[in-house]
A and B are shown apart, each in its own frame.
Chain A
């Protein structure tokens, strides 16, 4: 799993993930989100374009990130989930709290 973090605006960071979001990569993502929020960027957009697989641990990392961001007064949003990721989000109803945006960089433009 590769993570590219980019600050795109006022307190807004985009984390572009690449690879599988599973038990191995989940702690890394959780830590990166935590570090990003701690550094003051509490609006976190996760770009999932290049994530072709997510398991429950991966989903746990996103939920954890969402809680972390909200506790800091921000939010976590996702963009461009692939088919398998969308299926997992829908099955667990997490799509109700993690709505998918079309573009990570503009996920916080509203």
Chain B
């Protein structure tokens, strides 16, 4: 056991070479190293102990020279050192470790977890595999009394360890989706002659249905802020679709035509998913500050004028997917020197008191921030701490 470092530093497998560093990276990718208890894992340890009728169960992860107990049931054992752990043994042998009576087992009878207060007698644990086959920890059950696990119980424990693995992978999948979704947001910052532009987006779940976008078109620059109904993965898939159809329509068409095309294309998809999208879509003429916009039931865009006045950018149009739209309206306004256009999703209002009065709080932040990026950062940090809905903000300020 003393030689565990040499033993496990490199393990040749059919898939490649795993090292301590690759294990750490695998654990980081799985996003399971948080110290906070997670119900999705606690549920499994609880069930494992109940089904296998043991006092305790745990999910352990091997990290450098410690064993991190990710989830525990019926035990207060603190994270053991790796060399004293049963988990490391199971991981190194790549097999289920079954110890009916540790005090009679030469491998463990001197182990502090056996001789000490924890008084472990029975232990059974399966190694947990990351997607690439790397072994990262165990699902184990243990008891202070000796015990023999039947074959049925062993298969039950195996099923439960597969469940732990799929929980871990689900998280990894969604983290990957989040990276893709983030990459669909514009790269910061946008450099436009005479303007400052910034945007930010905080999702309640790892992915979500809000997004903002900007890109160059023949007439200048196009901007979008949209909010797809709902939260999470379902909303995120639709958000990516909305972004794509709007971008495609914006290439060669007027703003009205671009929204009309998007609306027509999305209608069926939004109907079959019982969803809808609120949308603010604008075009800026860089030289004049002229703005043309279509607002599809979004209603949360406003210009804070340099002279202290405000103009809400509203319209009578319904959200995309409401199924009752007839014609789209194009509106015009302008951004004078020192004016700031802000578009937010309704999740931003929820950061304040949830009413339209939140627009005044946004105004204070926007007017008194030295740069639009700082204003965006302030709103997003509020959202990261307290959001109950996806929160997105887009700000365009014309220099004085």
Contact = CB atoms under 8 A, between A and B. Distances in A.
Interface of A: 23, 30, 55-57, 59-61, 63-64, 66-67, 83-84, 87-88, 90-94, 96-97
B230 A23 contact: yes
B297 interface: yes
B317 A93 contact: yes
Given A30-B274, A97-B324, 4 more contacts: A60-B230, A87-B355, A93-B299, A94-B297
B236 to A, nearest CB: 14
Contacts of B323: 63, 66-67
Interface string B264-304: 00000001001110100000000000000000011110000
- Counting contact residues on chain B (CB < 8 A from A), the size range is 20 to 34
B346 A91 contact: yes
18 contacts: A56-B389, A57-B229, A61-B274, A63-B321, A63-B323, A66-B323, A84-B354, A88-B346, A91-B297, A91-B299, A91-B346, A92-B297, A92-B319, A93-B297, A94-B319, A94-B322, A96-B316, A97-B322
By CB atoms of chain B within 10 A, which of A23, A59, A60, A88 has the most? Answer: A60
Nearest to B357: A87
A56 B315 CA distance: 19
B227 interface: yes
Nearest to B356: A87
Contacts of B324: 66, 97
Interface of B: 227, 229-231, 271, 274-276, 278, 297-300, 315-319, 321-324, 346, 354-356, 389
A66 B230 CA distance: 18
A23 to B, nearest CB: 6
